[in-house]
Amino acid sequence: MRKLKLDELNRLSVEAYQTVPKHPVVVVLDNLRSMVNVGAVFRTADAFRVAKIWLAGITPHPPHREIHKTALGAEESVAWEAHPDAGILAQQLREEGYRVVCVEQTENSMLLPDYQPFIGEKIALFMGNEVEGVSESVLAQCDLALEIPQHGTKHSLNVSVAAGIVLYALLAGQRPG
């Protein structure tokens, strides 16, 4: 066994990436504080070819050196837009035909392995603040809360790690377009 060299990975250029089909999934970062987390979500969104990232509320946005440090250029390939209010954005996305889904521990949350989205289903995936989680205004708009099963003592994950787990579970094996 040997590791593949960079030129063997068949990576898309930024220009080519922007033209290929994407999954009909948008990730909404609801009042994240950490630029490192924002950059890591950009990198994960690039890996799974999500359609867009929304940076809501106080979530920092590119260009910024701290975001670039973990995004490794994905902030150039993944479409993104800022919005001042995640709750209002959730309502707008619902009106555009998205299923509004948050990753949060709630009294009615569904365990991630039990959720089977339809292929091609438009999903707006809300990821919450590192301390407070998803805002109440977003929860009021959600069609579904997904919970990642956890068996340790903390029952919380870093938001960028949670985004990776959920996007993998939702999109693994699917080809966009």
Cβ atoms of 135 and 128 closer than 8 Å: yes
What are the pLDDT digits (tens) for 27-78?
999 999 999 999 999 999 999 999 999 999 999 999 999 999 999 999 999 9
Helix (H) or strand (E) holding 100: strand 99-103
The pLDDT score that the predictor gives to residue 19 is 95
Which residues is 147 bridged to in the sheet? Answer: 111
Residue 177 has pLDDT above 80, yes or no: no
Q: What is residue 6's predicted lDDT score, i.e. its pLDDT?
A: 86
Q: Compute CA distances 62 → 39, 51, 55, 88, 111, whole Å.
A: 9, 17, 10, 22, 33
What does pTM read for this prediction? 0.95
Length of the chain: 177
Does residue 176 carry a pLDDT above 90? Answer: no
**Amino acid letter for position 93:** L
* 155-174 residue pLDDT tens: 899 999 999 999 999 998 77
Predicted confidence band at 132 (pLDDT cuts at 50, 70, 90)?
Answer: very high
pLDDT of residue 172: 84
